[in-house]
Amino acid sequence: MRRSVLFLVAFLIAALGLAPPARAASPGTVVSAQPTTVYLLPGQLLKVPVNAWSLHYNSTSAIGQINTVSGTLLVPKASWLLGRRPIIGYAVGTHGLGDQCAPSASMREGREAELALISLFLLKGFAVVVTDYEGLGTPGTHTYMAGISQGHAVLDSVRAAMRVPGAGLSTAAPVGVMGYSQGGASAAWAAQLQPSYAPDLRLRGVAAGGVPADLKAVAEHLDGTANFGLGAAAGVGFDAAYPELDLEADLNDRGRALLADASDDCVGELSKLAGLRFSDLSPIDLLNQPKWVARLTENRLGTTAPRVPMFLYHAQGDEIIPHAVGAALRSQYCSAGVTVRWASFPGGNHVIGAVEGGPLAIEWLALRVIGVPALSTC
């Protein structure tokens, strides 16, 4: 009798075009994985000799809601003969707010500058997965600089990479995470969140450079400077991550027009906001509004100690993210007992910090993922 009922239910489902309820999506679930091609130069020149997939995967927003994020997985064609192939979660620096700025798009079109560093991991035989972050390359506004969202996106990109059919990656693979600037914040957030959010990942180390650990301090530093557009973009990103901020309601007409115009810009176009101040965009002191202070404080790095070794690096002459902000994060981690390797580069600027620190960070991280213990410079 029971079998007859089950047969009848199955018949009705098929006949009526119904489907059983889908299981709830979980972070790191692969939504889609399509083969793609990645190029080093514009005009689809110099194809990167790897197997590559364009990904969509589930992650978690800053306020705990399941979302879908895009990214790109790169796996060297040569076999990995030393156990499970390591996986690097690579977090890019600021690309902009528009979908066309996403690293997945720039890699397909041969205009992704950070492929120079990513390629150093690929040459070692490591797989690399690059998240686009929430809202960059997918519907909605990019939650730019909302660190909790970005950390989730990085960790879940690695989880998804492990599950891509045909990629040959293992859920037990050793994992490393690296990023600079926006990516540095994302990498550090991945380190802090991993023990509670993604304990299944075998994270071995995290390299984070030019880290905007204290966003309020960085925003105050950028106010009125040539790089003010980055601070304004972070306001747009936080507003997307936390709807109660309702940024538009607090702006004047000029502010609403300027930020609406910038909401789909890539990083180079944000220079149109150079020299402006937050006071030019709003009649109130935005950064000291309680609702903003609460969310900026929530996204301030350093209050939770990562459980893996950290490589932190910063240029002393960084004009975008003050050296003191990075040094303060280093001190907080050291005080909490984290194994920290700290590199401070004399002079230089924000870009030079990436150029000088990137190769050092890659070599340090490569040793961690193959199991070599880290030494601390605290």
Do 310 and 205 form a contact (C-beta atoms < 8 A)?
yes
Q: Which two tokens stand for residue 31?
A: 């939504």
Distance CA 303, CA 40 (A): 39
**Helices and strands of the chain, counted as H and E runs:** 13, 11
Q: Where along the chain do the CATH 3.40.50.1820 domains lie?
A: 31-214+306-369
Closest by CA position to 212, among listed 91, 377, 378, 336: 91
pLDDT at 24: 56
DSSP assignment, residue 101?
G
Q: Which residues of the chain have pLDDT under 70?
A: 1-24
Fold of 31-214+306-369: Rossmann fold (3.40.50)
Place of tokens 């399509």: 34
Distance between CA atoms of residues 133 and 242, nearest Å = 16
* 310 neighbors 191 (Cβ within 8 angstroms): yes
Residues contacting 271, CB < 8 A, separation 6+: 226, 229
CATH number among 1.10.260.130, 1.10.3720.10, 1.20.1090.10, 3.40.50.2300, domain 216-297: 1.10.260.130
- CA dihedral of residues 57, 63, 64, 69 (deg, nearest 10): 0
pLDDT digits (tens, 9 = 90+) for 27-63: 999 999 999 999 999 877 788 999 999 999 999 999 9
Query: In this predicted model, what pLDDT tens digit does every residue of 95-147 receive, in sequence order?
Result: 999 999 999 999 999 999 999 999 999 999 999 999 999 999 999 999 999 99
**Which of 336, 15, 301, 330 minimizes the C-alpha distance to 146?**
301
Q: Are the C-beta atoms of residues 48 and 115 closer than 8 Å to each other?
A: yes
Q: Long-range contacts: 18-26, Cβ < 8 Å, 24+?
A: 24/66, 25/58, 25/66, 26/58, 26/66
Residue ranges of the chain that CATH labels 1.10.260.130: 216-297
Is residue 40 helix, strand or coil? strand
Instruction: Return the DSSP state at 275.
Output: T
